[in-house]
Structure formats: C-alpha cells, structure tokens
Structure 1
Amino acid sequence: MSIVSVENLCKNYGSVQALNSVTFSVPKGSVFGILGPNGSGKTTMLGIIMDILKATSGSYTLFDEVPDENSRRKIGTFLETPNFYHYLSAVRNLKITAAIKERGDKDIDKVLEMVNLTERKNSKFSTYSLGMKQRLAIASCLLGDPDVLILDEPTNGLDPVGIAEIRQLIKQLHQQGKTIIMASHLLDEVEKVCTHVAILKKGKLVATGNVNEILANDDIVELGAPDLEKLKAVLKQLTGYSSIREQDNLVQLFYPAGTTNLENINRFCFKNGVVLNYMQLKKKSLESKFFELTN
C-alpha cells in the first residue's frame, strides 16, 4: 500500500516552475525523506499533498484513493514554524488545537508524554526552548493518533542536542508503526533517520528509492599502470564494479561499499599482462554523492 503516490506533479508560480513532473510513492510504514537544497520544491510538494496549495498539473493519491477530507484527517501535519499562544501552557495550547481539529482532546497527556514534555506541560509556551517548541508542534500532530505524520524541516534551527531529540522521537514514532514523511535540506538528518528518500533539485526529481541504495557510500579504487590504455581495456573484462572512469592519468573503479577486494583486482590485472604501479582505495562520502546528484 502507498500512503502517498505523486504522478507528474507540476506547480508554477508565474514563470517560475517550483515542481516539474515529479513522480514518486511513499510506502506504508516508511520514514520517507524529501531531500533537497532550499528552494528545491520540498515545502511546495507537502503543501499540495495537504491541499494548502493547488497543483498546476499532475495528480496524487492518499492511501491509494482520491484525496478527500477523511483521508487527510488520518494525517498529522507540521508545515510551519510552531505557532502557539505564548502566554498559555502546553496543555492549554493543545486543548485549543484539539478543539480546532475536532479530535484528540483525550490524547493530550499521552502525546505530551510521547514528546517528553510532561514535566513542563503547565509551563507557558514563551518559556520553552526552540527544541521544546518543535516537540510541542509534533505533539499537536499526534492528537487523534493519526497513521501518518508530515513534518516540514522538523529540526530547522535547532542545536545539536535539539536535533538529536527530534531524531530520536521520529525513530520512536516509526517503531510504533507510523509512516512519517519528512522534508529536509540536511543530508545527515535524512541518512540517519529515513528508510526511503526522494531528492529534488530546482523542482525536478533526481533520485528516489531506498536510502541505502540512493545514498550509499561507494568504494573508489584508483589504479595506475605504464600503459593506461591497456589497463582500461583489461579492466573492461573485470566484473563487480558499478562504473569506471579516467581521472588525472588514473583509472577509477566504483564499487558498492564493502565489496572491494584489492588483491583480486591486482591479480586479475597481472594475469592479463598489466603490472600496476599505483593502487589506492578511497571512500566516496555521502556529501559527495549528494552534491553529485544536486549540482
């Protein structure tokens, strides 16, 4: 079952195309990251899914059905900076939120416990740190026990401690069976929390799939020999690597992380008449992979 399926979604603001024929699906039970630099269309995408914005063209479904009010009531959303009454406590603010949503009034103590705010539930919102404000916003999303959460930049502006708290909370919610769709411009956040990802660049989808496949570290083996052309010809007969390229008078072989065997490569080259004068194993960082996709 797909929680959200997006098909050729486009959104134009005059001459600016914020989304350009984007297609992807969010599997049930996943933590799905929508990743991209600022201005890539992440917030626009979430706004369309929640019917805050209208798409220029294309379509989408929720829970494999045409979206309606009932399907959206199954989703808890956090799309903006937390906006509560500063002079009211967490409990009072959540009571107001529950009344607006017409659901979740009996869940207030439960959701405050889930986001670790029970001890400060009677404190005024104005006394909260930014991390506490973000957690209260997530608590408001949890009112009514929705199956799905949509979070737009949930760690935005937080210090390392606050980021770690939100990450841990997202992991706990995922373990409880909730599907979480999360927009972020932080590669590290998505890599550590998400199971699946869609990467946007200037409104275009550049990659989507399992995080471990899309954002996998590559092993890079750099090889040198007196006759570079012969080395390249021999290496074309070698199996196991995903791609090959020449750079700075060296040949680079790209392998899935952890699958490289330098001894076998050296032996293969020697048996085929090539004596290597240079061999080095490097790691291709996640940052490099991300910048390669988005630049």
Structure 2
Amino acid sequence: MSILSVDNLCKNYGAVQALNGVTFSVPKGSVFGILGPNGSGKTTMLGIIMDILKPTAGSYTLFDTTPDENSRRKIGTFLETPNFYHYLSAVRNLKITAAIKQRGDEDILQVLETVNLTERKDSRFSTYSLGMKQRLAIASCLLGNPDVLIFDEPTNGLDPVGIAEIRELIKQLRQQGKTIIMASHLLDEVEKVCTHVAILKKGKLIAAGDVNEILANDDIVELGAPDMEKLKNIIGRLTGYNDIKEHDNLLQLFYPVGTTNLESINRYCFENGVVLNYMQLKKKSLESKFFELTN
C-alpha cells in the first residue's frame, strides 16, 4: 500500500517552476525524506499534499484513493514554526489545538508522554527551549492518533542535543507503526532517520528510492603500478566492482560497501603479471554522493 503517490506533479508561480514533473511513492511504515537545498520545492510539495496549495498540473493520491477531508484527517502535520500561546501550559495549548482540529482531548497526557514532556506539562510555553517547543508541536500532530505524520524541517534551528532528541522521537514513532514524511535540507538527518528518500533540485526529481541505494557509500580501492596500461587491461577482466575511474595516475575501483577484499585484488594482479606499488581503501562520503546527484 502506498501512503502517498505523486504523479507528474507541477507547480508554477508565474515564470518560476517550483515543481517540475515530480513522481514518487511513499510506502506504508516508512520514514520518507524529501531532501534538497533551500528553494528545491520541498515545502511546496508538502503544501500541495495538505491542500494548502493547488498544483498547476499532475495528480496525487493518499492511501491509494483520491484525497478528501477524511483521508487528510488521518494525517498529523507540522509545517510551520511551533505556534502556541506563550502564557499557557502545554496541556492548555493542546486542549485548544484538539478543539481546533475537532479531535478529542483524552489522549493529551499520552502524547505528552510520547514526546517526553510529561514533567513540564504544566509549564508555560514561554519557558520551553526550542527543542521542547518542537516536541510539543509533534505532540499536537499526534492528537487523534493519526496513521501518517508530515514534518517540514523538524530539526530546523535546534542545537545538537535537540536534533538528537527529535531524531530519536522519529525512530520511536516509526516503531509504533507510523508512516512519516519529512522535508529536510540536511543530508545527515535523512541518512540517519529515513528509510526512503526523494531528492529534489530546483523543482525536479533527481532520484527516489531506498536510502541505502540512493545514498550508498561506496568503498573505493585505489591502485597503482609501474605499468599502468597493463594494470588497466587486467583490471578490465576483474569482477565485483560497480565502476572504474582514473584519477591522478591511479585506478579507482568502486565496490558496494563491505564487499572489498584487498588481499584477493592484490593476488589477482600478481598472478596476472602486475606488481602493485600502491593500494589504498577509501570511503566515498555521503556528501560527495549527494553533490554528484544535485550537481
């Protein structure tokens, strides 16, 4: 079952094309990251999904059906900076939120427990740290026990402790069976908490799928020998690597993570008449992979 399916979605603001033919699907039970630099169309995408904005072209479904008020009531959203009454407590603010959303307030204490704010439930919102404010916003999303949660930059502006708290909370919510769709410009955030990702650049979809496939960290083996032409010839017959490049008079072999065996590569070269004078294993960073995709 697809929680969300987007088909050739477009959104224009005059001559500016915020989304340009975007297509992807969000599997049930996933943490799906919409990743891209600022201005890539992430927030526009979420606005369309929640019927805040109308698409110029294309379509989308929620829960494999045409979106309507009932389907959107299954979704908890956090699309803006937390906006609560500063002079009221967490409990009072959530009572107001529940009334606005036409949801019961019987689960307020439960959602506060989920986001680890029980001890501060009677404190004024103005006394909260930014991380606590973000967690209270997530608590408001959980009212009514929705199946799906949508977050726009949930760790924006937080310090490292606050970021770690939100990441851990997202992991816990997924373990509870929630599907989470989150927009972020932080590669590290998506890599640490998401199971799937769609990467946007200037409104276009660059890649979409499993995080481990889209943002794979390659093992790179660099090889050098006195006779580089002979080395290239024999390496061309070697199997197991995904790609081969030349860099600074060295050969670079790109292997899937964890599959590299330097001893067998060295033995293969020696048995085929090439003595290596250089061999080194390197890791291809997620950052370089991301820049490759977006540039």
TM-score, normalised to structure 1, is 0.97
1:125 matched to 2:125? The reply is yes
Higher mean C-alpha displacement, 60-69 vs 221-230: 221-230
Q: Following superposition of structure 1 onto structure 2, how do residues 75-86 of structure 1 map, counting pairs within 5 Å? A: 75-86=75-86
* Aligned counterpart, 1:105: 105
Aligned to 2:286: 286
Give a deviation string over 1:81-115, Cα, whole Å, max 9, x none. Answer: 00111111111111111111101311111111111
CA deviation map 1:6-37 (0-9, x unaligned): 11111111111111111111000011111111
Percent identity between matched residues is 87
Cα separation, 2, equivalents of 1:232 and 1:16: 47
Q: Which residue of 2 aligns with 1:163?
A: 163
1:151-182, CA deviations, whole angstroms, 9 ceiling, x for partnerless residues?
Answer: 01101000111111111111111110000111
Q: What whole-Å deviation, never above 9, does each CA across 1:39-98 have from its counterpart, x for those lacking one?
A: 111111111111111111111110011111100000000000001111111111111111
Whether the 8 Å CA contact 1:32–1:180 is kept in 2: the answer is yes
SS of the residue 1:51 aligns to: coil
Deviation of 1:119 after TM superposition, in Å, equals 1.4
Matched, 1:214 2:214: yes
Cα distance in 1 for partners of 2:221, 2:21 equals 37
Which 10-residue stretch deviates more, 281-290 or 130-139? 281-290
Distance 2:13 2:252 in 1: 43
Q: How does 1:127-142 map to 2 (within 5 A)?
A: 127-142=127-142
Q: Which residue of 2 aligns with 1:277?
A: 277
**How far 1:226 moved relative to its partner?**
2.5
Query: What CA distance in whole angstroms lies between the structure 2 residues aligned with 1:229 and 1:69?
Result: 66
Aligned position for 1:234: 234
1:149: which partner in 2? 149
Do the aligned partners of 1:107 and 1:143 also contact (CA within 8 Å) in 2? yes
Matched, 1:31 2:31: yes
Within a 5 Å distance, the mapping from 1:168-247 to structure 2 comes to: 168-247=168-247
Structure 1 gaps of 5+ residues are none
Q: Match for 2:121: what amino acid?
A: K
* Mapping 1:14-53, distance limit 5 Å: 14-53=14-53
CA distance in 1, matches of 2:163, 2:174: 17
Measured against aligned partners, the alpha-carbon deviations of 1:246-293 in whole angstroms (never above 9, x if no partner) come to: 111111100011110111112222223322221111111112211221
Q: Matched residue of 2:282: which SS?
A: strand
Q: Comparing 111-120 with 268-277, which one deviates more in the overlay?
A: 268-277
In 2: Cα distance, 1:223 partner to 1:180 partner: 43
Conserved? CA contact 1:220–1:281, under 8 Å: yes
Distance 2:232 2:57 in 1: 47
Q: 2:4, 2:244 → 1: CA distance? A: 37
Q: Once the 2 structures are TM-superposed, how far is the Cα of residue 233 of structure 1 from its aligned partner?
A: 2.2
Q: Secondary structure at the match of 1:149?
A: strand
Match of 1:261 in 2: 261
AA paired with 2:27?
A: P
Contact 1:104 1:145 in 2 (8 A): no
Q: Which has the larger displacement, 12-21 or 169-178?
A: 12-21
Give the partner amino acid of 1:93.
Answer: N
Counterpart-to-counterpart distance in 1, 2:170 and 2:191: 13
Moved more, 113-122 or 141-150: 113-122
2:7 partner letter: E
* Equivalent-residue separation in structure 2 for 1:253 and 1:104 (angstroms): 59
Q: Which is further off, 281-290 or 146-155?
A: 281-290
For 1:104 and 1:47, the matched residues in 2 are separated by 25
After TM superposition, where is structure 1 displaced by more than 3 Å over at least 4 residues in a row? none
C-alpha displacement of 1:145: 0.3
Counterpart of 1:116 in 2: which secondary structure?
coil
Output the CA distance in 1 between the equivalents of 2:100 and 2:218. 49
Provide structure 2 residue ranges, at least 5 long, that are not aligned to the other structure.
none
8 Å contact kept, 1:90–1:136: yes
- The one-letter code of the counterpart of 1:228 is M
CA distance in 2, matches of 1:38, 1:172: 28
**TM-score, normalised via structure 2 length:** 0.97
